[in-house]
Structure 1
């Protein structure tokens, strides 16, 4: 249809790949959060995962649940940011 390689990449290939890229980012975000918090549970001496696990060990459920709430809020916030980025990068999906 008369488009050169760069035009095909910019107007067809990249926009076509964007939904899959953002799906991968959503999965990676969840996986990264799980891995970071899990590593903090067992190896760190600071961080939200360490604090949550520490208060679980010393039987202080109020502070343990506060740590879990911080993790949940962080996950919600990062998911929200990713959704905003997706809407901005792919305005045709609105």
Structure 2
């Protein structure tokens, strides 16, 4: 059922909007998303990253909030659209004390 829904949405979807958020992920977020995409559970991803399961849950929740989605499936779609819309925006340089 979920696969059929995805297939339907994929067929009717257009190109990502130019204002789609770029996938600017931290190294930890990128590592977590990679593991989850490879079908790791929260527990196995946490063990691989040497963080707690609660940290995994919190990272996923923050990403869902950042991308304005309600579940992990929608997060995957949003991240996919963000990655397809172009390279991540460069991170602003942090000001130094000597500036």
Q: TM-score range by the shorter chain?
A: under 0.3
Pair member with larger Rg: 1
Between the two structures, name the one with larger relative contact order (CA 8 Å, sep ≥ 6): 2
TM-score with structure 2 length normalisation? 0.26
